[in-house]
Amino acid sequence: METKVHSCSLFSPPLISKRFPSSPGFPPHQVHFFSSSKQSPRKSLRMSQAAQNPVVQQQKVVIPNKYGEKLVGLLHNTGSVEIVILCHGFKAVKEHIIMTNVAGVLDKEGISAFRFDFAGNGESEGTFEYGNYKKEADDIHAVIEHFNGENRIISAILGHSKGGNVVLLYASRYHDVRTVINVSGRYDLKRGIAERMGEDFMEKLKEKGYLDVKDKKENSRYRVTEESMMERLSTDMHAACLKIDKECRVLTIHGSADEIIPVEDALEFAKIIPNHKLCIVEGANHRYTSHQAELASIVVEFIKAALEQDKAASS
């Protein structure tokens, strides 16, 4: 059985069609390939005349999570009732280029955004912990509860890398967000560990109870405890994705040249999430270093389409 590839109506640049085999027992699913080789990315980011010059106020917001830690974020307030929550990845911060870039493009469309640091990262309180997926989903819940209390509408949640996993876990647990965007999340959380810590990482953890991960200069970057490792290994993305409501729209975006998380992980998400669209950005690496405009265009067009659907359904 083969995966069928069709054109994607969201994107004006040309689409490159390819075929990927799907696993036995899974029906064909659509994969959309985004390439900007024949069109400047800037042209794909043209804004409507009404939203070209919104008045955007940036405001630092502090929100307590359920563990008593203060989460620090930056609100890009365009005056819209709708707001998009942006979630960074592993050992990253709200100032990560993907977070700031997407927030900036949403600004120009008149859509408010909130990018924040998970507990133990950036300006937020708490101690950094490896794994921590479920707790970070709880952090998102604290943020959403805060803005719900201000009568804002959470139009979407977006996460990059580990943040992509966390927004999917959130959707599987809380069922109160209708649009979720997973940018380069990992499907199998048992993978990618040995490359950073060595094949014998479990033996080292059991011997000492912890493992210090160092950079190329032998400086310690972070500490991994056995407990935090087991939390990651026990986080089952397959089982979680099966619990996402069918009414929840999920977009997975992945770079075809991702050097950290293989693009095949994105295909696995596409097989099991019921209301799902998959977009592969040709040539993009894990950080979308040379593809920031394409990434932002895909995200904004998906969010705008979702908002239009919601408005049509409520009218």
- Which of 210, 234, 258 is the last residue in one of the domains? 234
User: For residue 66, what are the domain limits?
Assistant: 31-189+241-314
Percent of the chain at pLDDT above 90? 71
Instruction: Determine contact, residues 46/300, Cβ cutoff 8 Å.
Output: no
Q: Are residues 162 and 102 in the same domain?
A: yes
CATH number at residue 163: 3.40.50.1820
Instruction: Determine contact, residues 50/301, Cβ cutoff 8 Å.
Output: no
Question: What SS3 class is residue 96?
Answer: coil
112-116 and 70-77 beta bridge pairing: antiparallel
Instruction: Determine contact, residues 211/221, Cβ cutoff 8 Å.
Output: no
Contacts 24+ apart (CB under 8 A), 290-295: 291/36, 291/41, 291/255, 292/97, 292/98, 292/101, 293/36, 293/41, 293/42, 293/44, 293/45, 294/13, 294/34, 294/36, 294/41, 294/44, 295/98, 295/101, 295/102, 295/183, 295/253
Q: Are residues 211 and 304 in the same domain?
A: no
Structure token digits, residue 294 = 């394409």
Number of domains, the chain: 2
- Which of 200, 215, 234 is the last residue in one of the domains? 234
Q: Are residues 165 and 275 in the same domain?
A: yes
- For 150-161, what is the mean pLDDT? 97
Q: Are residues 151 and 177 in the same domain?
A: yes
Task: Please tell me which residue, 10 or 159, carries the higher pLDDT value.
Answer: 159
Structural domain contains residue 8: no
Looking at residue 26, its amino acid is F
* pLDDT in the model for residue 194: 86
What are the residues whose beta carbons fall under 8 Å from the beta carbon of 23, sequence distance 6 or more?
271
Structural domain contains residue 10: no
Q: Are residues 102 and 214 in the same domain?
A: no
* pLDDT in the model for residue 213: 87
Structural domain contains residue 6: no
Express each pLDDT in 272-306 by its tens digit. 999 999 999 999 999 999 999 999 999 999 999 99
Instruction: Determine contact, residues 73/94, Cβ cutoff 8 Å.
Output: yes
Distance CA 97, CA 225 (A): 29
Q: Are residues 107 and 209 in the same domain?
A: no
> pLDDT class for 50, splitting at 50, 70, 90?
very low
- On the question of pLDDT at 43 being above 90, the answer is no
Structural domain contains residue 136: yes
Structural domain contains residue 25: no
Name which of 9-13, 74-78, 272-276 the model is least confident about: 9-13
Q: Are residues 125 and 99 in the same domain?
A: yes
Instruction: Determine contact, residues 231/161, Cβ cutoff 8 Å.
Output: no
Alpha helices in the chain (DSSP H): 97-108, 133-149, 162-174, 194-197, 201-208, 226-233, 237-241, 264-272, 292-314
What are the residues whose beta carbons fall under 8 Å from the beta carbon of 61, sequence distance 6 or more?
72, 73, 74, 75, 114, 116, 146
* pLDDT in the model for residue 283: 97
Structural domain contains residue 208: yes
Q: Are residues 88 and 213 in the same domain?
A: no
Instruction: Determine contact, residues 250/276, Cβ cutoff 8 Å.
Output: yes
pTM of the model: 0.84
Structural domain contains residue 16: no
* pLDDT in the model for residue 54: 64
Structural domain contains residue 3: no
Q: Are residues 210 and 249 in the same domain?
A: no
Q: Are residues 212 and 245 in the same domain?
A: no
Question: What SS3 class is residue 299?
Answer: helix
- Which of 234, 269, 288 is the last residue in one of the domains? 234
Q: Are residues 173 and 230 in the same domain?
A: no
Q: Are residues 185 and 195 in the same domain?
A: no
